[in-house]
Chains A and B, each alone.
Chain A
Amino acid sequence: MSCLEPQRRGPFGPPAILPDTVTLEARDLLGLRPVACVTEGAEVATGALVMQDRSRSEIRVVAPVAGRVERVETGLGRRAIRVVIRPDGAARTAPVTVEGDTRDLMLAFGLWPDLRTRPFGRVPDPDASPDAILVDALSGAGVLAAQATPFALGHGLRALTALTKGPVILCQHGGPALAPAEGRVEIDALAPRHDGMARRLRRLHSVARSGEVWVLDVQTAIALGRLCAEGLFDATRLVEIVTPSGAAAGTLRAPLGADLAPVLKEHGWTAPASRPLRRNETQIDPRRDMAVPSDAPLGPIVPVPALAASLPLGMRTIPLLRALQIGDADTARRLGCLDLVEEDMRAASTICASGADYGLLLRRVLDELEGER
């Protein structure tokens, strides 16, 4: 069934920046073994195939901009590490021929790798079907994008219902609904204190015991909606830049993989030579990039309320952090770690005095639990 709907074209936010380079990183494709499908020097059009998964070739990464492939970095066994494209011009939406159902469209236009499974935080199997899909509209950039394009968002959410027999839940802050709740599309609007997808997941559809839920950024749902409703392929995303003082410096539109180092320098950061916009990234806070894992032995966990509140309500945070520190996967599973992925542990890593990178420790435990399945 096609998800084509009557068209509605219109202006959509600020124009996209013209980056020097666009870098597509293989490390954003969790659980995949990508291989490059282009060679250095080749010309690519917007939406052209750039990488694909070795074993499931239908999972594709496409070029967000038209340009020339400047560099293809590969590792052991021809495994792609990154593909760098030098754009011909600014990223713009491209009219495309839309054929097939939602699954086919997401796979064909490279939107599938934006999906993340819970548990384990992987790119889902193209043949799988989750119990529910949660759409993340909690970030400032995501809310702005959703407010600018309610029509496309509504289409995107309706299209996503084809992937699951369960609900498609748009998670937003309180206030007016960003999209209409109809059919299996539901809106979950709570006050900001219930922030974070882990909290929403835990409350709406926990996967700690069983089941699988997919999580998707609202801007991918909008891109899907534009594809379905307007026949336009849009690989740009709104992203919020944070200043060194921690304040939001504003939002800009950039194609996926765009090098944002010059923009960061404008805002007072000592940016590295290159800082590409990563998949599903809605906020650039270079302080997170600067955190280097330390080899120093871990200190004690000081059990304070701020640390206990860093994970979703109902989770036994301190026992879970202790289990993660010692790598006790079984206890961590019993304490609900399957509801979590690395980014949910950021607050705990910041508050805890032990110096542990709980995202890294959680990944080790999740990998072990995934291997046992």
Chain B
Amino acid sequence: MRGEFLATLRARAARDATTLRLMAIAPPAAVLFLSAPGAAWPQLLAVVTAALACALVFAEIRGRGPIFEALVPALLMFLFAPPEASPGQLAFALSLALVLGSLIFGGAGFGFLSIGALSLALLAFSFPPLAPVAPVDVVIWAALPGGLLVLLAGLAPWRVVLAGAAGFALAAWPAALDPGYALPLALVLVHLAADPFGAPVTGPGQWLSGLMTGGLVSVLAALGLPGLDLSAGVFAVLLANLFAPLIDAGAIALANWREEARRA
């Protein structure tokens, strides 16, 4: 029964990708909203409106949808954005990320970057003090079931997550390793690094990309911060995304070479 459910979930994952990803991110977003509704609603309204408006404009121009996939990076931005960011700043950075990273390529799945990570990076670039922050622990705990869901469905490549954790542990060992980093790192790895459209698609490529992301999170992290430096996480993910096509091409070339050698 459990096996059958898992098989059905994995078989339908591609067609229901947007629904499953929204189901994964909605609970922590809801917890974050409910923890301070008064302060959070303008931010949530800004990101949701900006995402839907951008997607709708491009859907009208192209004559085809869907538009709700733009809500995934919107909710990710809501989760990681600093509380002091104004709704206008969030809407600007998210719109820029959606248009430059996704919509001009044809929509989600046609680009090669994690739009969630790109929007947070653009926020940090455009408004320098506004660096992404890790949500409070209760929000991260609320994100764990959803993280498990996308991992089981295969929408987040598990190799990237596992290798990311290993890469971070190896690079941070032993001085900079803190158990408190585990939950925020897991959140970054599952929802940003293991983005189905940004991560490599070959098995060896996913291992390498994960190791690279985890290692870079440790290397790029600013010293002396109380928790995990989310800016390092975001830029590590973007760098790994940029290299993903090259890593895939290398993995395929290596596999071809090995096959030729075996035949010879």
Contact = CB atoms under 8 A, between A and B. Distances in A.
B107 A300 contact: yes
B40 interface: no
B110 interface: yes
15 contacts: A209-B263, A296-B64, A297-B62, A300-B106, A300-B110, A301-B109, A302-B13, A302-B17, A306-B13, A306-B154, A314-B259, A316-B202, A318-B201, A319-B252, A353-B14
Interface in A305-330: 305-308, 314, 316, 318-319
The secondary-structure label for the interface of chain A is loop
Contact of B14 (A296, A307, A314, A335): A307
A297 B110 CA distance: 13
Given A301-B109, A303-B197, A353-B14, 12 more contacts: A300-B107, A300-B109, A300-B110, A302-B14, A302-B109, A303-B201, A304-B13, A304-B196, A316-B252, A316-B255, A335-B252, A351-B14
Interface of A: 209, 296-297, 299-308, 314, 316, 318-319, 334-335, 351-353
Interface string B129-167: 000000000000000000000000111000000000000
Contacts of A297: 62, 64
Most buried by A among B108, B154, B155, B255: B154
Nearest to A351: B14
Interface string B191-213: 00000110001100000000000
B57 to A, nearest CB: 17
A302 B252 contact: no
A304 B155 contact: yes
Interface residues of B, number: 26
B154 A305 contact: yes
A136 B155 CA distance: 34
A304 B153 contact: yes
Contacts of A352: 14
Contact of B17 (A209, A296, A334, A353): A353
A335 B15 CA distance: 25
Q: Counting chain B CB atoms within 10 Å of each CB, which of A209, A305, A334 scores highest?
A: A305
B256 interface: yes
A143 B153 CA distance: 34
B11 interface: yes
Interface in B83-134: 106-110
